[in-house]
Structure 1
Amino acid sequence: MTVQELATESPEAEAHVLGACLMATPAYDAVADAARVLGDGTALSPANELVWQAITRLHGRSRPTGVPMVEAELRSTGDLERAGGVVRLSQLAMAACGAGQVEHYAGLVAGYAALRRYQGALARAQQTARLVSPTDVPDAIRAHQADLDYLAVGAEEDEHFGRLGDDLHEHVKALETPTEAAAVTGLMDLDAVLKMRPGNVIVVAGRPAMGKSAFTLGVALANAGTGRPTLVHSMEMGKAEVNNRVLAARARVGLHHLMDGGPAIEDGDWTRILRVLPDLKTLPLWMDYAARVTPSRVRHRIKALTRETGRVPLVIIDYVQLMDTDQRNGRQTAYERVSDVSRELKIIAEETGAVIICCAQLNRGSEHREGKRPQVSDLRDSGQLEQDASAIILLHREDAYEPASPRAGEVDLILGKNRNGPTCTVTVAHQLHFGRIRDMAQAD
């Protein structure tokens, strides 16, 4: 049997469910059980969907959902004939299933609807494959992946719905065990106030050259150093630059020596590099250097690493304003694009349980402010970033503006937002000649 020959609907199952709703009594509310599975009813055939919508409207007004009331409701909206008339309503009532079978048959209806949507996605992919140019194949594949991801998430939505008290006892029991942070930054004072939990989105923002990449790459190395899988999407820096920064930070070799290469790398530098290589090669740290990164690409990478390692990775994106949406839209403004990306990343974090750290650029607002200290409102292109983030860390260096500052070598990590802890400022040391940021006590 081919895909085209597979049954994609079950009129009998639809009739059983609608019949039970038409025969509902105060002792058993079949509508509530069916609604948990069918939602808005778009899983039903068009005529049956009209009947379902009438039933749910009546149910929402706490009115009976028997045949006479549904008939009157359909007549008032002019949909009675399109729904099959009074005879059809009577036939549905006669087809009612038993009280304990409503969710089963509703599940069948929803399953057939999911099959139809799946077949539709495959048909669209086949049509695209026939028309797409060879140079646009990667974009076509990403669009198809996003289509399938949407279907998969829709199929799992019911897992997010339930009564508060259903699992409250288990939650209270779990409180007896201390909660381990899902990820660490490697900076002791920061980890003490920034508790990263599964599903958190952390924004690390600053003006150019404040040390965002050094900070987040240091977080990646520290987190991977604990054995936790870590994923970095580096859109701003290529493989050679990232490798140089990692080697400089870990081996304490001048970054400019590695950038120049050859004779600039001294014998002592080579000794330190060779000493750290074995540990670096075994770190559970994965890099993605693709210049075009979309939310669906991030989702796929997270799921692949979760399958491979058995643990959800920490994800770092450098930086969010460079990301694209899954569906290219030339009419989107930068504000709309970043807002869409931000919302999708928040959904991905909650769906997968990952912690996602996003670098972000700030506008020039802080440079016209006395002291030049940044604020959360300086985030460029989107207020949505501020809304979606669980925490926002703003990087500020006085010596970036005043090289002779008595605070030269210090970086303020300003927690402008922190849902899991206090808003405060943590001061750390930068050693940007080594491409790293350290706790003050370790800044030797």
Structure 2
Amino acid sequence: MTVLPHQAAGAPDDYQDNGTALGRTPPHDLGAEKAALAAMMFSPEAVIDCQGAVREEDYLLPKHRILHSLMVERHGKGLPNAWPLLADELEQRGLLKEAGGSDYLTEVSMAFETGAVGWHYAEIVHRKGVLRRLTEAGVRITQAGFRGEGTVDELVAQAAAEISTVAEGASSSDDHDFVLPAEALADALDYIEQARHRKGISGLATGYVDFDELTQGLQPGQLIVIAGRPGMGKSTVAMDIARNCAIKQGVPGAFISLEMPVRELMMRLISAEGGVALHHIRSGQMTTEDMAKMDKAIPKIYGAQLHINDCERTYTAIQAKLRRLKAKHPDIGVIVIDYLQLMKLGGHRPESRQQEVSEISSSLKLLAKELQVPIIALAQLNRGPEMRTDKKPAVSDLRESGAIEQDADIVILLHRDDAYEAESPRAGEVDLIVGKHRNGPTATITVASQLHYSRFVDMAQT
């Protein structure tokens, strides 16, 4: 019986168990790996096909990864990939031995089949690679469970992160191919037609009328960053939006607080919704009128679907909780995280804090797209505004990471003149400076400050 290259089985002689296979050879198909590489040696078209269908890490053997990477690089430079040329370049780079040597390159080239389709073997390699990573993730999860280091939530978050990493790499880049206008136009025209007849905004209203008109509300998959110096009212704006969604519109939301405990958030919510001075609530010295306002506000707050968490500190744990929350409540309409720079990544430790914040920022954007929910992340600004005469912030003042600006769809910068000058003629006014708006214009929206009620309101409401 003739065995085709992609049917070859058995553990490779030079395979080293890295401890995640529990003594067993992980999923692989060396025949398919060789056949895919051989096709790339003989056909530039195969390089394009295989590059789209297989990832470098899908190959079991490091030497196959080296060959794949080199051929993709050479093809990009317009160079041929015949095995003698590969051997020559590998020798110049000091990598020939790591790639198996000249004899091994000859062996790989002999796996080429006339008329064979390289992408077919590449897909086999990719599938085996995904299965291998899934197996390895399962072993790491099992080992973590037996060690029992950390809280249950941390262990669950670690397990979710392991599976998430495998899932993100499960689709080959060819799974989402190009589309022509003829295929995409109908969807765009449907949206335009709906917009023509729509009354009001297309997204989720924040409660700030001018801001909603500018942005058409918060859209699913968006990352909205609200940034400012300490004391400017970032948490107040975030709670305003969450309160407007959960109480005024009946849209369920989530509020992850890394700064304030739930009790403090509840007092602020009562103050804002009831119009009761926050310092009266804290001191307990409330008037009869205050008590009447509270009695009216509390039933609304009690029935609000605003899911609050003040326990988590790592992105991996927050991600796991939000995924579970979304699965349990598919109609979650907004997520608030207060605030970004207090968050740790969890899992591996990046080289610097700047890199860590960058990874958290990009991960939040991906999570917003995955859950199809707008995520509002609060962020601190550096001291840049305080160095300027007018004290106004700029997007470049985002602290610790320029990646926050890059990842965000909307960046709102908070500015209050009366925070710097108590007798300012603009006392009581707050500027929401839309410094970045990926899908529309930027502008400055002015709202009124009612910080004694822990809220901001439209100027027309004052």
Query: Is the TM value for this pair above 0.5?
Result: yes
Shift of 1:438: 0.8
User: Relative to 1, partners in 2 of residues 1:72 and 1:411: Cα closer, same or farther, differing over 3 Å?
Assistant: closer
**Residue in 2 that maps onto 1:228:** 251
**Residue in 2 that maps onto 1:211:** 233
Moved more, 69-78 or 197-206: 69-78
1:172 alignment partner, one of 188, 192, 195: 188
**Are residue 73 (structure 1) and residue 86 (structure 2) matched?**
yes
Q: Percent identity?
A: 32
2:362 alignment partner, one of 331, 343, 349: 343
Deviations 1:421-440 (A, max 9, x none): 32221111121121111111
**Residue in 1 that maps onto 2:315:** 295
Contact 1:17 1:106 in 2 (8 A): yes
Query: Counterpart of 1:269 in structure 2: which amino acid?
Result: D
Q: Mind listing any 5+ residue stretches in structure 2 that lack a counterpart?
A: 1-20, 196-200
- CA distance in 2: counterparts of 1:373 and 1:54, whole angstroms: 50
**Residue in 1 that maps onto 2:15:** none
**Residue in 2 that maps onto 1:186:** 207
**Are residue 317 (structure 1) and residue 340 (structure 2) matched?**
no
User: Relative to 1, partners in 2 of residues 1:85 and 1:374: Cα closer, same or farther, differing over 3 Å?
Assistant: closer
- CA distance in 2: counterparts of 1:41 and 1:368, whole angstroms: 48
Shift of 1:159: 6.8
- The alignment partner of 2:436 has SS state of strand
Contact 2:133 2:166 in 1 (8 A): yes
- CA distance in 2: counterparts of 1:421 and 1:437, whole angstroms: 24
**Are residue 247 (structure 1) and residue 266 (structure 2) matched?**
no
Shift of 1:359: 1.7
Kindly report which structure 2 residues correspond to 1:329-408, keeping only aligned pairs within 5 A, or say none: 329=349, 332-333=352-353, 335-408=354-427
Moved more, 205-214 or 360-369: 360-369
User: Relative to 1, partners in 2 of residues 1:419 and 1:270: Cα closer, same or farther, differing over 3 Å?
Assistant: same
Query: Counterpart of 2:329 in structure 1: which amino acid?
Result: T
Aligned residues: 428
**Are residue 88 (structure 1) and residue 107 (structure 2) matched?**
yes
Contact 1:391 1:418 in 2 (8 A): yes
**Are residue 305 (structure 1) and residue 325 (structure 2) matched?**
yes
- The alignment partner of 1:236 has SS state of coil
Contact 1:51 1:83 in 2 (8 A): no
Query: Counterpart of 1:282 in structure 2: which amino acid?
Result: G
**Are residue 147 (structure 1) and residue 151 (structure 2) matched?**
no
Q: With structure 2 as the length reference, what TM-score do the two structures score?
A: 0.80
- CA distance in 2: counterparts of 1:363 and 1:21, whole angstroms: 50
Q: With structure 1 as the length reference, what TM-score do the two structures score?
A: 0.83
- The alignment partner of 1:433 has SS state of helix
Kindly report which structure 2 residues correspond to 1:36-51, keeping only aligned pairs within 5 A, or say none: 36-40=52-56, 42-46=58-62, 48-49=64-65
- CA distance in 2: counterparts of 1:360 and 1:388, whole angstroms: 13
Contact 1:198 1:350 in 2 (8 A): yes
**Are residue 112 (structure 1) and residue 128 (structure 2) matched?**
yes
Contact 1:305 1:313 in 2 (8 A): no
Shift of 1:16: 5.0
Deviations 1:58-91 (A, max 9, x none): 54455666xxx23442355244854754763464
**Are residue 163 (structure 1) and residue 183 (structure 2) matched?**
no
Contact 1:17 1:97 in 2 (8 A): no
- CA distance in 1: counterparts of 2:241 and 2:427, whole angstroms: 22
Deviations 1:208-249 (A, max 9, x none): 222221111011111233343321111111111111111111
- CA distance in 2: counterparts of 1:58 and 1:399, whole angstroms: 61
Contact 2:225 2:376 in 1 (8 A): yes
Shift of 1:255: 1.6
- CA distance in 2: counterparts of 1:416 and 1:90, whole angstroms: 56
**Residue in 2 that maps onto 1:432:** 451
User: Relative to 1, partners in 2 of residues 1:267 and 1:307: Cα closer, same or farther, differing over 3 Å?
Assistant: same
Query: Counterpart of 1:248 in structure 2: which amino acid?
Result: S
RMSD: 3.3
Contact 1:47 1:84 in 2 (8 A): no
Shift of 1:382: 2.7
